[in-house]
Structure 1
Amino acid sequence: MNFFENFWDIFWWFFTIYAFFGYMYALFAIIGDIFRDHALNGWLKAIWLFALVFIPFLTVLVYLIARGNGMTQRSMENARQRQAAGEAYIRSVATSGPTSSPSDEISKAKALLDDGTITATEFAAIKAKVAV
Structure 2
Amino acid sequence: MFTIRFDILENEIEFSAIRAQGSGGQNVNKVSSAVHLRFDISASSLPSLLKERLLAQGDQRISKDGVIVIKAQQYRSQEQNRADSIVRLNELVASAATIATPRKATRPTRGSQTRRLDSKNKRGSIKALRGRVSD
Interval containing the TM-score (normalised by the shorter chain): under 0.3
Q: TM-score, normalised by structure 2?
A: 0.25
Flag the structure with higher strand content. Answer: 2
Flag the structure with higher helix content. Answer: 1
Q: For the pair shown, which has the larger CA radius of gyration, 1 or 2? A: 1
Q: TM-score, normalised by structure 1?
A: 0.25
